[in-house]
Structure 1
């Protein structure tokens, strides 16, 4: 039982670090694309406003929500492996 608790805690810590790094990376890439789009297109508003509005739309996008798969996929895979190992 102690080994399972240690696996859960360490897994949560590792997945959290991966989630945070992936979130920052994805947001930085999106910010870069928005800045390039602003430079290439018509400039109706200043760059910071354009980027801020674009990031607000990004926060509600499906791509942002898919990052939560970092927690879901490994937990499901480990659960299936444990189940199949013990009950098959």
Structure 2
């Protein structure tokens, strides 16, 4: 009986991990695209010197190291914390 419960828990964990990974990829790609659009718009509106591609590439490198990009990792942390709290609450409260 305990083995069946454990396999159900592992299956749930695998499905949750796959869903979080899909959500992470989608949000990450969307956020990067939004940043690219903003950089392209900035370059055009301000009439900055140099090539637009170089400006956008440099801006995206800054974005890759930014705190905002790291916040997207909360897609993994928040659901796991919620599930952990629910398990704790059901078993120990």
Fold agreement, TM-score > 0.5? yes
For 1:44 and 1:85, the matched residues in 2 are separated by 61
When the two chains are superposed, the root-mean-square deviation of aligned CA atoms in Å is 0.6
What is the total number of aligned residue pairs between the two structures?
Answer: 88
Give the number of the structure whose alpha-carbon radius of gyration is greater.
2
Moved over 3 A (4+): none
| Correspondence for 1:9 | 14
Secondary structure of the 2:48 match is coil
Q: Deviations over 1:53-76 (max 9, x none)?
A: 000000111100000000000000
TM-score (norm 2): 0.92
1:43 CA drift (Å): 2.2
For 1:87 and 1:6, the matched residues in 2 are separated by 23
Alignment of 1:1-88 (within 5 A): 1-88=6-93
| Correspondence for 2:3 | none
Give unmatched runs, 5+ long, in structure 1: none
